[in-house]
Chain A
Amino acid sequence: SQKIEQNSEALNIQEGKTATLTCNYTNYSPAYLQWYRQDPGRGPVFLLLIRENEKEKRKERLKVTFDTTLKQSLFHITASQPADSATYLCALDNTGTASKLTFGTGTRLQVTL
């Protein structure tokens, strides 16, 4: 069966450190993978998209890697800040048409002073 797995345990890190979140998937062949941020009681906010032919994507303090052999994406936040505290979701579209996003359960990140 198809699965998207993110570490369900919260990740606690100190301000200034790099946070690394993992997204593993099975029985998918996604053309691309997306990362979203979700704050409590709010809808997700798009952060980054990485395509299957891209190894790495960067946006300001964010970096995403995509390894289609390992079926894994890593999401990094460098120089983390308390304002980065939120739940981060990865999402896949198996159709390649952006028509059906399937989300992981998300990993809660807590950045402390």
Chain B
Amino acid sequence: GAVVSQHPSRVICKSGTSVKIECRSLDFQATTMFWYRQFPKQSLMLMATSNEGSKATYEQGVEKDKFLINHASLTLSTLTVTSAHPEDSSFYICSARDRLVPHSYEQYFGPGTRLTVT
């Protein structure tokens, strides 16, 4: 149980284009999902918290107009990188918390999406 999927697993796009990454909780419902970014040999950095039915909360320094987050259902959150540039190339990972276990601190992570902007 508690599986999170991401699609696509890898994507290459040209500079200036937009890319959408999907994060799905497959066997549980998540009112809250998190988006992280990880650069090579660095730690995961929280970008934003995605709440179902409301606006995402972005961390300091993360441009909300560049990284659009939509959490339209209890099992799906999307991250759209708009007008991508080579510096946006990174490993994007989502995680989710099971809404039926509100006091659990465990986050279930997806397998990640490798974005390369050329």
Q: Chain A interface (Cβ within 8 Å of chain B)? A: 4, 32, 34, 36, 41-46, 49, 89, 93, 98-106
Please determine whether A101 and B107 come into contact, CB atoms closer than 8 angstroms: yes
Please determine whether A43 and B95 come into contact, CB atoms closer than 8 angstroms: yes
Q: Number of B residues contacting the other chain (C-beta, 8 Å)?
A: 25
Q: Is the interface of A mostly helix, strand, loop or mixed?
A: strand
Q: Contacts A46-B107, A98-B97, A98-B105 given: A89-B112 contact, CB under 8 Å?
A: no
Q: Sample 29 A-B pairs with CB under 8 A, ordered by A number.
A: A32-B105, A34-B106, A36-B109, A41-B91, A41-B112, A42-B111, A42-B112, A43-B4, A43-B93, A43-B95, A43-B109, A43-B111, A44-B93, A45-B109, A46-B106, A46-B107, A46-B108, A46-B109, A49-B105, A98-B104, A98-B105, A98-B107, A99-B32, A100-B46, A100-B49, A101-B107, A103-B44, A105-B43, A106-B43
Question: 3 shortest A-B CB distances, which residue pairs?
Answer: A43-B109, A98-B105, A103-B43
- Nearest CB of chain B from residue A100's CB, rounded to whole Å: 6
Contacts of A45 in B (CB 8 A): 109
